[in-house]
Amino acid sequence: MAKCDQNGKRRRIVPAPVPSQPRLLSAVLDVECAEDEEVVWHYTTTLEGRFVSGYSIVLRVSADETARLKRLPKSQQRMLLQMLDGMPSQTGR
C-alpha cells in the first residue's frame, strides 16, 4: 500500500535496477517518490559491468504533454530543455 506525505500526496517505492553482474553492488537499493514523479537512474560502467550509482527525481510528463512538446519547433524544444536543465531537482548522488 502506498504511503502519503504531509501534503496528502501518495508516495511509492521504486526499486533500483539490478547490476549487470551479481558481484557488483549498487549504491542505491530503492527510492521513495511521489506518484507524479519519476526516478532517473544514474549508472556507472566498469570493466566488470554496470550498476546504479545515483538517481534524480523529476516530475512525470504525461503522454499528451510529450506529444504537444514534440510538435513545437526544434528551437523552442531546445529552449525549454535548457530552462528545465536549470531547475533544481532532487538527486541522490
Q: Contact at 8 Å (CB) between 51 and 90? A: no
pLDDT at 3: 72
The parent domain of residue 46 ranges over: 3-91
Tell me how many domains the chain contains. Answer: 1
pTM exceeds 0.75, yes or no? no
**Mean pLDDT split into 10-residue runs, the chain, 93 residues:** 70 95 93 92 95 92 79 84 61 51
Euclidean distance between CA atoms 62 and 67, whole angstroms: 9
pLDDT at 59: 86
